[in-house]
Structure 1
Amino acid sequence: MSELIRFEVAGRDPESAIRDLTAADVGRGWTSRRTGEAYSYRYTAVGDDEVTIRRCRVTGFLRGSVSPGDHYVVQWITSGTAVVDVAGERHDMWHDAPLLSPTEQEFVFSGTDHDQRLVHIARSLVRDVAAERYDLGDGPLRFDRTRADDDAGLGPWHDALGALSRALRDGVDSTAWADAKRGVAAAFLGMFPPKVDALPAELSAPRNARLRTMVEYVHAHARETVTVADLAAVGGLSVRSVQESFARVLGVSPLTYLRGVRLDHVRQDLLELDPQSVTVGDVARRWGFAHLGRFSAVYLERFGEYPKQTLRR
């Protein structure tokens, strides 16, 4: 049975805002200051452990770091200005335009005199609903789009939020609330369709179950530092056995496979992003390529063209 989650923190000075937001576990390293004579803040949340509706209003400046957790977070602002920064990549928030918070990386949020709305949706709930709509297999669920710029998805999203708010009147242990939560998850997937990495067919064999687990880990953590020791821990094998498994089934070393996954992501980003707002270096560094000269060489070898050519298409 679901239990109601409801809390509110509010006040009229920056020091209290920093203390309360930190205690509410909605981020860390908060800083805040006045932007005029009057300063105020109010943060509210209501829902259960799978879905909460939240609102943060600040008359002043607020900045802090937020780490991904067990929930996907959709956020938007209705007034003021706000920016989400991921490793130097800036996403300006637009009024009434839902933005998917980074799902795998810590990010920095900063807002000025803003009214922010947020919906937290459990990853497990999204996965369950996605499994009914997409051919997911056991592969990692990944979202490349950060902004819901498709108007077709906004109507169902707003309808789903309305149904969720109405269902709260029946309580979080009601059938109406359970149905409304799934409706919100479905609307979320309508705005941010998942992209599932295709795994090598050889991994479907039962004898390769441990290798599949390690490969799924590579795909899920491709932006992060991944070592052979990490894969050994995930697969329950020795480092040598990990090397042998990749070589025997996939014909490459674990780190070569990781590099290929990262290159594929880079190419996908270069094809989708605006060349006026991003550089090859930005995308390459996002996927773990620090040396741009070597990166260009391996990219050319894999795709038969330089990354700049891909970006300019």
Structure 2
Amino acid sequence: MSEHTGPVERSEVAGRDVDEARDLFAGAYNAGSMVIEPTESEFTFRYTAIGDDELTLRGTQFDGHVTGTVLTQGEYIVSWLTGGSGATDLAGDPVRLVHGQPAMFANNRLAEFDFTDYRQNLMHFDGTFLERVAGEVEGTSGPILFDTTARPSGEQLRRWAASVTSVARVIYDDASPALLRSEANRAAAVALLETFPHTALHAPVEIGVPSGGKTRAAVEFMIANAHLPIRTEDVAEAVGMSQRSLQSAFRKEHDITAIDYLRRVRLDRVQEELRQADPGRATVAEIANRWGFAHLGRFSASYTNRFGEYPSTTLGS
């Protein structure tokens, strides 16, 4: 078990060379048949990325007209324009992108695109990571098929934007501890699953429930390691269970998922620290972040639901 989600990596490439831009995007997006035509007197491009092996936040900028194909494999990508114009999946279900409105990339098939003088933000989710989170919260397994034509709006879009802002704040902060980054990645994955309609290509399979002894051992492992960015596979491995058996056992014995049980343990730790903290020196946000709660609004709601009072009340008492 690693104490780190994975090292944070940053990269930035910018320039004016068309061939350099084509090679960069061919590598980052399996882009093919790319045609790049300057729309101004001088072509420019910029590409940035920051994140770890579970989630990266990226940005692309092209001052020019670019067409081609992309092939997304082993990851799930959501993007939104902040400038210019663009359309994707031209040979499938054509989608013209709207500024600020996220859209999913087609997965595991070629998708044609057409962009002009654009600025684009993207989130790249590692495929295994996102599928694991889907298994935890939805009880599914294997690949996920997203509806690439879905366009969140209204309150759904506002919740998505708030989640992205909260997650980005953690990822861009070099001082964010590993546990907080791990929870921010998971919060982003959950937000993606809640925002975009999708279908699990492998249906849930009912299996036998393991003995209560192993479930108790799993709880003890969680309590002992709650300060680390542990995953459900770490818990399952530690007690000699499969992940599916672990989830099934927790749903039967505790009526919640294993990861939700772990979050309850961390909420208990937050409550302990708030009770012992000096309200003149400590803050709710600082303590919540230390235990992996990146979205303070959701944390406050979970805390209040569990303990019947606001975290600020606990701190001030």
8 Å contact 1:45–1:53 — kept in the other structure? yes
Secondary structure of the residue aligned to 1:42 is strand
Match in the other structure for 1:254? none
8 Å contact 2:152–2:196 — kept in the other structure? no
* Matched residues, number: 203
Structure 1: runs of 5+ lacking an equivalent:
207-313
Distance between the aligned counterparts of 2:180 and 2:189, measured in 1? 14
Secondary structure of the residue aligned to 1:130 is helix
Residue 129 in 1 paired to residue 133 in 2?
yes
Specify which of 176, 191, 197 is matched with residue 193 of structure 1.
197
Distance between the aligned counterparts of 1:84 and 1:45, measured in 2? 21
Question: What TM-score, normalized by structure 1, do the two folds share?
Answer: 0.58
Residue 99 in 1 paired to residue 66 in 2?
no
Match in the other structure for 1:161? 164
Residue 143 in 1 paired to residue 146 in 2?
yes
Residue 50 in 1 paired to residue 19 in 2?
no
Distance between the aligned counterparts of 2:112 and 2:177, measured in 1? 35
8 Å contact 1:170–1:176 — kept in the other structure? no
Specify which of 61, 67, 73 is matched with residue 69 of structure 1.
73
8 Å contact 2:150–2:197 — kept in the other structure? no
8 Å contact 2:131–2:142 — kept in the other structure? no
Q: In the TM superposition, what are the counterparts of 1:22-61 in structure 2 within 5 Å?
A: 22-24=26-28, 27-61=31-65
CA shift at 1:141, angstroms?
A: 2.8
Distance between the aligned counterparts of 2:206 and 2:191, measured in 1? 31
Question: What TM-score, normalized by structure 2, do the two folds share?
Answer: 0.57
CA-atom RMSD in angstroms: 2.7
Distance between the aligned counterparts of 1:8 and 1:100, measured in 2? 23
Q: In the TM superposition, what are the counterparts of 1:250-289 in structure 2 within 5 Å?
A: none
Distance between the aligned counterparts of 2:143 and 2:26, measured in 1? 31
Percent identity of equivalent pairs: 29
Residue 19 in 1 paired to residue 15 in 2?
no
Which structure ranks higher in relative contact order (CA pairs < 8 Å, sequence separation ≥ 6)? 2
Distance between the aligned counterparts of 2:37 and 2:176, measured in 1? 37
- Moved >6 Å (runs of 4+): 203-206
Query: C-alpha deviations, 1:184-241, integer Å up to 9, x for none?
Result: 0011011113324686x9x8799xxxxxxxxxxxxxxxxxxxxxxxxxxxxxxxxxxx
Distance between the aligned counterparts of 1:105 and 1:23, measured in 2? 16
Secondary structure of the residue aligned to 2:42 is coil
Structure 2: runs of 5+ lacking an equivalent:
209-317
